[in-house]
Each structure stands twice: as C-alpha cells, then as structure tokens.
Amino acid sequence: MQISGTYELTMILGAATLLLWGVRMARTGVMRIYGSQIHKTLPRALDNPVIALLIGAGAATALQSSIAVAVFTSGLAAVGVIPVADGLLLLLGADAGSALVAALLTLNLKAMWPILMFVGYLLHAVFSDTASPFKQVGRIMLGIAMILIALAFMSQVSSSLAASGLIKIIVSSLGSELLIALLLFAVLTWLAHSSIAILLFWASLVQTGVTSDPDLIIAALFGINLGNALPPIIMTWSQAAPARRIVFGNALFKLTGVAAGFICLHLIDGLYARMPGEPGFRVMILHILFNIALIVMFAAFVTPIARVLEKWFADPPKPADDVGPKYIPTATATDAGARPELLPVTALSREVLRIVGTIETMLETTLEMLTTGAAEKAQDIAKMESKVDTLFTAVRAYAVDLTRKGMSDEEQHKVTALLRYTASLENAGDVISKAMVGISKSMKKAGRSFSPEGKEEIATLFHYLVGNTQLAAEVIMAWNQDTAGVLVQRKRELKKMCTDSSERHFARLSEGISRTMESSSAHLELILNIRWINGQVSCIAYEALPGTEPADEGVVEGLNGHPE
C-alpha cells in the first residue's frame, strides 16, 4: 500500500513529539529522586578537573539532557556556588555524557519497550499516592519506553523516506550547501531543545541510506552541536553575569570546534569512512569523538577563558538599594518609579525576588552575629526587616489589584501564590530580626557562647538554609516542577538535619560538656527557628508543583509562639 507524504510527515512529527516527551518524563523522574543529590554533588566537583568532567557527564547521562545541566549549572553560578571555570568543565563533561546517551539509545533496545511500559505503568500506578521513589522509577521507565517507541517509528518512517526520490533530491542538494545544512540542523536542535532527539532522527535517516555523503553527515552533526548551545543562552539571558559567562563560554567552545572541524573536514571524512559498524552508529561515534575533542582542546584552558569571559560579561555596578519597590508602582506614588516595560506578573516576580534576596542577606548577617558576637549587626538586620515590611506592603497591594483584572488562570495562580509567599517571607523576617537577634543579644549579655561543635552545626544549618533561599529564587524565576521538586527534597533534608542536630546536642548534654549546657536553650531555640524559617522559605515549591501539599509538615508551637 502506498503511504502518502502527508502521513509520513505526520508520523515524523508525532514520533519527534513522543521522543521529546519521553526524554522529559525520564528527566523529571531522575530529578525527583536525585535532584537534591545532584544539587549538592555538583559544587563538590570544584577541586579536581577530572571529577568535574565526570560529574558533568554523569549528570547529563542521568538527566538525558546537557541543556538541563547547563541551565542548572548556570543557576548555581548565578548565586556564587560554582566558579565560572568549574562550570565550563562541567558543561564539557555534560556534552560528552549526552552524546553517550544518544549512542546507547541507537543500540538494538527497541524490543524492550513493552516490558518497560508495563512495569513503569504498574509502579507509577501502585505508588501514585505516595512519596515512594518507586513512583519516579516507574516514570523513568515510562519515559524510556516512549523514547524506544519513538525510535521504532522513526526507523519505519526513515525507511520509507529512503525510498522517496524527492527526499533524496532534497538531501543531496544540501550536500552542495554544507553551511545551509549546518544552520538548518542548528535551528532544528534549538527548536526541539534536545540534541538527542535530532541526532537520533538524523542517525536513523543515515542508517536507511537517505545519504552516504560524509561531508553532509558531518555538517549536520556540527549543526546539532551548535544548536544545542542556543537554548541555555536564551534561557539565561536575563540572569546574573556568571550564569551567562558559562553558557556563552560553552557556546564559544562549540563554535570554535565547529570552525576547526570545517577546516579539517577532509580529514574527518577519512576518519568516518574507516569507522566500523553501521552508518547510524558511526554517526553517534563521530558525535562522541567531537565532544571528546572539545574536552581535549579546552579543559586545560578554562581558567584563563573564564577571566576573558569576566571582562566580556562584567557585573554591573550595584546601585544603592532603595527600600521601596523598583518594579511595581506603590499605593501612595505615581507609576513613575515602576518599570512599564515589564509585564505585570514579571514585575511582581522581580519584586518578590528582592524580598527573597533580603531574607538571604538577613540570614547571613545573623549567622555572623551569632558566631562573632558583633552586636552592631543588629542594626543592619533591623533595617533589612524594615525593607522587607515595606516591600511586602507594596507587593500585597499590587497583587490584590492584579487579581481584580482579567488574567489567565495560570497568571492568576502565580499572582496568588506569590502573594501568599510574600506573607511567609514577611513572617520569616520577623523571626530573624526578633527571635534570632534576641538569642544573640541574650548570649552576649550573659557572656555565653556556643561549643565548637554546636557552632559548627549551627553554621551548617544556616548555610543549608541560605542555599534553600537561593533555590527558592530559582523556583520563582523558572516556575517548573523539576526545580520545585529539588527544593521540596532539600526542605525535607534540612528538617532531618535539624532533628539530628538536636539529638547530637542532647548527647553532648549527657556528657556534661559545660559550654553545651550554657548554650542549650539558645541552641535548641535556634534549631526551631531555622526549621520554621525553612518551611516559610521553601513553601513556594508547593505552588509550582500542582496537586501537592506539604502534608508531611506538622504544626507545632515553637518556643517563640510561631508555627514550626
């Protein structure tokens, strides 16, 4: 039976969509299980370049997307967790890991999809109402099954296309216009936001004999690699300078590699011709070799390249931070101080981010006050608390006004969520400025201090809480389930860390350590405050995760009378 070209085009679009959705499902499952571990592990790769490359490759292999690793890493760089040079190494490794995933998916695994689909659905259905990791394992298996089904469809369509005279004419015409072919595949990769999807489709076409021209095959590969660098640039365009340095540096690596590849095109032709295996698999091997070549070319030079990028993307001078709102109009002033070029919900989000940043600075200053006894810091914290109150009042008035206007359901949900969240942040600011500062003043007045062990534990909890505050800002910017899921996991981890710290404190009390006995009340009260503030700071994650509630959190009266 003759199949129409329209039907084949529809099959291609459907298979590509199924492939992208399968990649997304698998990535979401991995993030829900291992997201917080990835968030903690990436910064640990800073000391050893080899480990940095391996962790980048491992993260991309797990997430099945080097783009996801790029956005994640740039977010960490934006808040100062990862230096630019180390971020560049991680992305070089991530590109190699993504290439390895694509190669593995070309193996003869398509017959496994029925088993993966059945077991994945079974696990996801049985554990759907629980927080068990088996639910996410089922999601991962369903995603991989969808990928394999999509590949099977692509293989069938590719076979039909290979017999089409029109397709052969089109593809062969690209052989004489290699630059156009490169740009075409770069645009396709950018639109798909997945180099794996476009690479697998191109490999299936090559496998069925649509083209055997090495120059065209290699030019398409170069376009796929170049196009893979575009989504992170666009997604981090408005972020801080360190984030943009990393993604632009990675794009520069790829652009340089592509230019060098074009110069050495005839040498690469010979390498491709001598490779063993089927044509489609050789495409994958060549893709892996290209990314390994980038590592060899640039891994040793990431530090000087980072310095150059710092000059290209310099941090803007920090203006004086006014107490009042910058992006939204106030109730008592005209709109002159607002930013009319910003969309209303965007302007609201930017103002909430300022509150989050102020809370983060308050926590860091409070920790310094607790560990050094610097009483003068209390005045700084009081000023920051006044700023939080002022911004909260302005945000509340603006958000209420927005809810009365015509907005989509999605915008309405986000505005309402941000309004609730700013109330939580305002409460957190009160606890910091009153309860935590009060603890520090009381201890200084009584001439007491924490034991070395207690001081280290308090500092660890504060640093983790600051990290959650930074991640909460990422949730507001990205508003996606992956980032929110990581924040929920980190919230639960800090809750357990607080419990463990209390148990260790009681153990020191039983040993009769004098300094621990002196600071016992302050230590336990600080842990309660940290745990409660963690809930306030992290609650935005549940707003970005539809259908979830912080059901695991009880409501307990803390020592200061606030819900814990």
pLDDT, tens digit, for every residue of 6-59? 676 677 678 777 776 876 777 677 767 766 565 555 555 555 677 667 766 665
Does residue 562 form part of some domain? no
Q: What are phi and psi of 38, to 5 degrees?
A: -65, -40
Which residue, among 206, 204, 100, 207, has the nearest Cα to 152 in the 3D structure? Answer: 204
Cα of 221 vs its chain's centroid, Å: 26
Sort 304 into a burial class: Cβ within 10 Å, 0-12 / 13-18 / 19+. exposed
What's the rounded Cα separation, in Å, for the pair 440 and 373?
A: 7
Q: Which residue has the tokens 């006014």?
A: 322
Helices first, then strands: H and E counts in the chain = 24, 0
Is residue 428 pLDDT above 70, yes or no? yes
Integer-rounded Cα radius of gyration of the chain: 27
Under 8 Å between Cβ of 229 and 254 = yes
More confident call, 560 vs 527: 527
Does residue 138 form part of some domain? yes
**In a shared domain, residues 108 and 212:** yes
- Partnered with residue 563 across adjacent β-strands are 557
Does residue 322 form part of some domain? no
What's the rounded Cα separation, in Å, for the pair 312 and 244?
A: 10
Which residue, among 238, 448, 188, has the nearest Cα to 342 in the 3D structure? Answer: 238
Domain count for the chain, please give it: 2
**In a shared domain, residues 289 and 429:** no
Q: Is 212 strand, coil or helix?
A: coil
Please state the rounded mean pLDDT for residues 406-433.
89
pLDDT of residue 290: 92
**In a shared domain, residues 403 and 277:** no
What is the CB neighbour count within 10 angstroms for residue 521? 14
Residues 6+ apart with CB under 8 A from 185: 198, 202, 219, 220, 221, 222, 223, 224, 227
Q: What is the 3-state secondary structure (H, E, C) of 118-137?
A: HHHHHHHHHCCCCCCHHHHH
**In a shared domain, residues 269 and 396:** no
More confident call, 60 vs 336: 60
What's the rounded Cα separation, in Å, for the pair 537 and 555?
A: 16
What's the rounded Cα separation, in Å, for the pair 114 and 145?
A: 7
Confidence of residue 106 (pLDDT cuts 50, 70, 90): low
Does residue 323 form part of some domain? no
**In a shared domain, residues 194 and 248:** yes
Confidence of residue 372 (pLDDT cuts 50, 70, 90): confident
Does residue 561 form part of some domain? no
N- to C-terminal Cα separation, the chain: 69
Cα of 372 vs its chain's centroid, Å: 34
What is the CB neighbour count within 10 angstroms for residue 3? 11
**In a shared domain, residues 161 and 221:** yes
Does residue 276 form part of some domain? yes
**In a shared domain, residues 44 and 153:** yes
Model confidence over 287-297: pLDDT tens digits? 899 989 999 99
**In a shared domain, residues 395 and 427:** yes
User: CATH number for the domain including 393?
Assistant: 1.20.58.220
What's the rounded Cα separation, in Å, for the pair 107 and 101?
A: 10
Under 8 Å between Cβ of 395 and 351 = yes
Q: What are phi and psi of 20, to 5 degrees?
A: -65, -40
Q: Which residue has the tokens 């539809």?
A: 546
Does residue 553 form part of some domain? no
Residues 6+ apart with CB under 8 A from 40: none
**In a shared domain, residues 15 and 124:** yes
Under 8 Å between Cβ of 29 and 136 = yes
Confidence of residue 556 (pLDDT cuts 50, 70, 90): very low
- Report the chain's mean pLDDT, rounded to a whole number: 78
**In a shared domain, residues 343 and 306:** no
**In a shared domain, residues 307 and 340:** no
Lookup: tokens for 201: 């489709």
What's the rounded Cα separation, in Å, for the pair 128 and 121?
A: 10
What is the CB neighbour count within 10 angstroms for residue 343? 10
Query: What is the percentage of the chain residues whose pLDDT exceeds 90?
Result: 14
**What is the secondary structure of 458-474 as a DSSP string?**
HHHHHHHHHHHHHHHHH
What's the DSSP call for residue 557?
A: B
Model confidence over 193-241: pLDDT tens digits? 677 777 877 887 788 777 888 888 899 999 999 988 888 888 777 777 8
Does residue 153 form part of some domain? yes
**In a shared domain, residues 397 and 303:** no
What's the DSSP call for residue 46?
A: G
Query: What is the percentage of the chain residues whose pLDDT exceeds 70?
Result: 74
What domain range is 210 assigned to? Answer: 5-312
Sort 125 into a burial class: Cβ within 10 Å, 0-12 / 13-18 / 19+. exposed
